[in-house]
Structure 1
């Protein structure tokens, strides 16, 4: 699927660039201004992203041709589902929220264009949608959608439908259906009366109405937007690519072993003393990853007087921060990492803090003999400081 998306990307992306300036303080608003313009969407070149550090001073960070774009896509996915007002969360993922103002202004169509661009231009997958929503996107047919109570966003309504679904006696069913009287007569086509033979049909049709039919116009706009870069026909021809949109039942966690093997180390010449030092640094990187995964850094830093800010960051620190620090993304992009992540070693570096080049997906580790003391926590602390102070990880 990654190869399919990579091949499609090469076909639809034009050899040109579009420069955009994004505020980290308001990703949704600044991104929407670009994607909502027809003139912007008519072009299919790569985005070149610069972040405005502050909306008022509009001080611009140096442009970059890869890492900032991945970081922007990561932040944009979060903004789409949390800040746009176009979606609401359910136990199974996000579903469109009926917003008549958004509908009139074509916001859902614009979001579809954003999602297409994210997947085509190397962003991590916007895999946040409930499966029933993706079923409708791939088929365009409500009759092929299987909505369940867990696809309903309103908790009270969700519990009503679950009570109907799990009723084991006629009395229980009667009481459960009575709780639905405030809305069920307004939904055409529901079984009436509801009995043990028709309760499953009642639940399925009611869930379908509240999840899909009520916001069908919003979904149709979203589908129209997903035609950007010809993503929709690609997905409909290859239904397994739905994994790039569907909220996963079990979220795949990034592990220390995965990260360690994901970075290709660039060692010096064979049998050199420098290479031996680099190998030690490489092993210390693995030890740091294991410590982050096992929440052992607090114990390692027990002799240090950490600031309140450091204590707070230490509580939330995860391996995702390492991925963000190095690539700008928080997980593997839909089309895979390009270029492949690598680790290079810096000799004669004045500071022991690691660095990163997110355009090249490159982690840069200083080689310092003083950091090799097994009783020292310097390497771990320098790495911790680098992650904490990186704007990419905020």
Structure 2
């Protein structure tokens, strides 16, 4: 064990030096510093124009109960071409894919990649790549990168779950890890060790830390722990965090980014414009607001002066009150839930929908109670005319959303 005093602490990368692949997996340099003014929509629109064959369609057969497995089989076929527009067919469902099934498929796929593929660990909205050599041998990180790139390339969502510090490190940036929140680390044992490093404030704390955790910290690539001073501890804390969330999984990160780069060098594009892509990969995206939701709505009213117009205005007033209830968090429905019900997507795509969502109306048959329904392909929500009580409309919408099972809706 190296107990020689050093003045400047460093991460011991001698092991990485013996392996060029490890060293080059995720380089630190960033040749093209991004600008905060980069427009993500412009970036993705250009990528789409350069790579996607709008006139060529590939039929993808998906079984809902085995969605992730179905997707992996689809992209593993010899004839699969990621540049062709995917036409999604859910087994046992009659809907023709005019946009809705594809939006729902990619939304569900990103959830499955995050939770079921086995390449991520940690909290649902703040994950890290797992250290799993079996998954590495099975090329799971590569497949995960493929699937995420496939979704982004065709206007779908990303996982929106990576820890922001990890994402920046993967993009060649150097975030300030001295303020890293150790609570988000997935391993309780590592949490307790990192916590002790953060709380090392006195010489007595340092002596105890060197005695109890010195060898472990040294194995993280910081042999200078044995000659450290108290004032060096924030830097050592940052080094340990960097080792655990990033350097330790360098091979996994490399395979993951190679998987994304297999589809139009998409990871290189992400890395170059990391600020613009940050909301897509992390949980830093703002929730959908009432104003943003209403901005994509149009209303198909009947002519003024007609009886239908009067009853439609009754419903729309109740609709506005329901939107206020959602905004004020008085009900369990979120704007994202409404969006999924109507479009199959839980966010407005970066490039937008092809049309605004149309709100149309229907008459309730006497003695019947027909719930609101949606056409995800036509981007249309149908509301009953003549609903004068917002609570009634809210209950109907809640039931309709709760009973919705995809493209065989109520």
Structure 1 length as normaliser, TM-score? 0.81
Distance 1:23 1:293 in 2: 35
Map of 1:210 onto structure 2: 244
Distance 1:76 1:327 in 2: 16
Map of 2:14 onto structure 1: none
Once the two structures are TM-superposed, the CA of residue 216 in structure 1 deviates from its matched residue by: 0.6
> Which of these residues, 288, 291, 299, is aligned with residue 254 of structure 1?
288
The number of equivalent residue pairs is: 361
Map of 1:230 onto structure 2: 265
Once the two structures are TM-superposed, the CA of residue 377 in structure 1 deviates from its matched residue by: 4.9
If asked which structure has higher relative contact order (CA below 8 Å, sep 6+), I would say 2
> Which of these residues, 273, 276, 292, is aligned with residue 241 of structure 1?
276
Aligned counterparts, 1:166-177, within 5 A: 166-177=199-210
Distance 1:359 1:10 in 2: 23
User: Does 2:398 match 1:384?
Assistant: yes
Map of 1:277 onto structure 2: 311
Distance 1:355 1:388 in 2: 12
User: Does 2:45 match 1:19?
Assistant: no
CA contact (8 A) 1:20 1:48 kept: yes
Map of 1:266 onto structure 2: 300
Distance 1:149 1:318 in 2: 28
CA contact (8 A) 2:218 2:224 kept: no
Map of 1:29 onto structure 2: 69
> Which of these residues, 180, 193, 218, is aligned with residue 160 of structure 1?
193
Instruction: After superposition, give the CA deviation of every residue in 1:116-164 in whole Å (9 maximum; x if it has no partner).
Output: 121221223322111233223323x7xx465545363213212322321
Distance 1:38 1:211 in 2: 35
Distance 2:160 2:276 in 1: 11
Distance 1:363 1:10, change over 3 A: farther
Instruction: After superposition, give the CA deviation of every residue in 1:192-228 in whole Å (9 maximum; x if it has no partner).
Output: 3132132223222221111111111111111112221
Map of 1:186 onto structure 2: 219
Distance 2:360 2:58 in 1: 30
Aligned-partner SS, 1:392: coil
CA RMSD of aligned residues (A): 2.9
> Which of these residues, 301, 325, 335, is aligned with residue 351 of structure 2?
335
Aligned counterparts, 1:85-124, within 5 A: 85-89=118-122, 93-124=126-157
Once the two structures are TM-superposed, the CA of residue 114 in structure 1 deviates from its matched residue by: 1.1
Distance 1:180 1:266, change over 3 A: farther
Aligned-partner SS, 1:385: helix
In structure 2, the gaps of 5 or more residues are 1-39
Map of 2:380 onto structure 1: 362
Distance 1:78 1:72 in 2: 10
